[in-house]
Amino acid sequence: MSSHPSADGDVTPARPARPRVVLGVSGGIAAYKACELLRRFTESGHDVTVVPTAAALEFVGAPTWAALSGKPVSAEVWTGVHEVPHVRLGQSADLVVVAPATADLMAKAAHGLADDLLTNTLLTARCPVVLAPAMHTEMWEHPATTANVATLRSRGVVVVEPAEGRLTGADTGKGRLPDPEEIFGLCADVLARGALAPDLAGRRVVVSAGGTRERLDPVRFLGNRSSGRQGYALARAAAARGADVTLVAANVTLPDPAGVKVERVETTAELREAVLQASVGADAVVMAAAPADFRPTGESTVKIKKSADGSAPTISLEQNPDILAELAATRVAEVVVGFAAETGDSTGGVLDLARAKLARKGCDLLVVNDVSGGAVFGAEDNEAVILAADGSSTEVPRGSKAALAHVIWDRIADRMGPRA
């Protein structure tokens, strides 16, 4: 970091510059969601210039963008020509993100057309570029769009997979703009890492997240406090690095990560089935979920009632299968990764117990959280040690769950063989 002398002669660190973001908006109904994305950027200290296309301005007017960004807004290259905006914006940006990116915008970007300020900016940008497409399913699946997306990805552009759901009319399908919060998280990731090498492109990975629930009766269950945040961060990070990601989520209330297939399950038995099925032939599987180790022996079909004499019912439990151990034993996926939250006990310290667990489970990597000092459940950050079956280990200092997710993928990528 650079320093500069203050007025009284002390050398104080220079305040890091605010990251410069160009937010491109092309002409789709989802343009209104870009207002939310813009707010997330400005509220977290980014310097944002909005560059809409003329069609985007049909959906959301320039005054909205100008008021939210605090900067003048133009769609064409003829405003403020003396400042050469068509070159300057792209050259000076730390990140260009286009949300929504229409089929037309991506076609122009793939072919290097430059007929307005946004397409000029895309041609002059030397920073990471993220495109978040939104369009009707037919347009997304058209061979022309597929080819344009492939071209853009081959050049290192991060093209986010659209979400599935309700589209503009009454129809539903793939093509929705992912949640603005998700796009923001991805952009923050890209900015933090400088660029995201698509090093997991062509890889298929499976991540489990959340905590399973074992039904006692129609209204009660045995569960745990896992929020699913670390698993979701892993899925998000892998998608951002180009992987085809299946996320098996047990009772998680977080929004679906952009560009990830999400399968929802409730119990350990359902989690096992979904994970084993998705893992066949996968390059990696990461068990970040907290499956319940026990389930009630037989679910009551009627609500268990209080007894008149005040005695409590006895609940008998049986053990659930260990999914991680099964994945490691069957080797359906190439790299098998587990998690362990440990406190240490009279038989050994946290790392001793974790080493023993790694050997017992037979996985390739075990991500160990020391939870002696307090729970990590639901927290925004995490610290861990990643133990490997070959005896090596990586200490990851306290930081965001996204940062830990990327280090875990780095270690997994080290262990993957050549692409099929």
Q: How many residues bind ligand CTP (CB under 6 A)?
A: 12
Residue 128 makes contact with ligand CTP by CB under 6 A: no
Let me know: does 203 contact 170? Beta carbons within 8 Å: no
Let me know: does 161 contact 258? Beta carbons within 8 Å: yes
Question: Considering the complex, what minimum distance in angstroms separates the CB of residue 222 from ligand CTP?
Answer: 13
Length, in residues, of the chain? 420
Let me know: does 296 contact 317? Beta carbons within 8 Å: yes
How far is the C-alpha of 218 from the C-alpha of 412, rounded, in Å?
Answer: 41
Kindly report the number of other CB atoms within 10 A of residue 357's CB atom.
Answer: 17
Q: Which is nearer to ligand CTP, 181 or 326 (CB)?
A: 326
Question: Considering the complex, what minimum distance in angstroms separates the CB of residue 321 from ligand CTP?
Answer: 6
CA–centroid distance for 213 within its chain: 24
Residue 354 makes contact with ligand CTP by CB under 6 A: no
Question: Considering the complex, what minimum distance in angstroms separates the CB of residue 224 from ligand CTP?
Answer: 9
Question: Considering the complex, what minimum distance in angstroms separates the CB of residue 375 from ligand CTP?
Answer: 14
Stretch that binds ligand CTP, among 182-190, 303-311, 334-342, 343-351 (CB under 6 A): 334-342
Q: Hey, which residues does 95 pair with through a beta bridge?
A: 21
Q: Which is nearer to ligand CTP, 116 or 364 (CB)?
A: 364
Residue 257 makes contact with ligand CTP by CB under 6 A: no
Q: Which is nearer to ligand CTP, 161 or 283 (CB)?
A: 283
- The contact pattern for ligand CTP, residues 95-124, with x = CB under 6 A and - = no contact, is ------------------------------
> Residues 175, 210, 259, 338: which binds ligand CTP (CB under 6 A)?
338
Residue 404 makes contact with ligand CTP by CB under 6 A: no
In the range 24-63, which residues lie near ligand CTP by CB under 6 A?
none
Residue 333 makes contact with ligand CTP by CB under 6 A: no
Stretch that binds ligand CTP, among 17-25, 54-62, 146-154, 336-344 (CB under 6 A): 336-344
Question: Considering the complex, what minimum distance in angstroms separates the CB of residue 314 from ligand CTP?
Answer: 23
Phi-psi category of 240—alpha, beta or left, where left has phi over 0 and alpha has psi -120 to 50?
Answer: alpha
Instruction: Tell whether omega for the bond before 100 is within 30 degrees of 0, i.e. cis.
Output: yes
Name 37's Cβ contacts closer than 8 Å, sequence gap at least 6. 23, 97, 99, 180, 183, 184
Question: Considering the complex, what minimum distance in angstroms separates the CB of residue 357 from ligand CTP?
Answer: 6
Residue 224 a catalytic site member? yes
Q: Which is nearer to ligand CTP, 27 or 210 (CB)?
A: 210
- The contact pattern for ligand CTP, residues 308-327, with x = CB under 6 A and - = no contact, is ------------x-xxx---
Kindly report the number of other CB atoms within 10 A of residue 113's CB atom.
Answer: 15
Transcribe 67-115 into DSSP letters.
HHHTS---SSTTSSGGG-HHHHHHHH-SEEEEEEEPHHHHHHHHHT--S
Q: Hey, which residues does 296 pair with through a beta bridge?
A: 317
Q: Hey, which residues does 214 pair with through a beta bridge?
A: 222
Active site residues: 224
Query: Which chain residues interact with ligand CTP by CB under 6 A?
Result: 268, 287, 289, 291, 293, 320, 322-324, 338-340
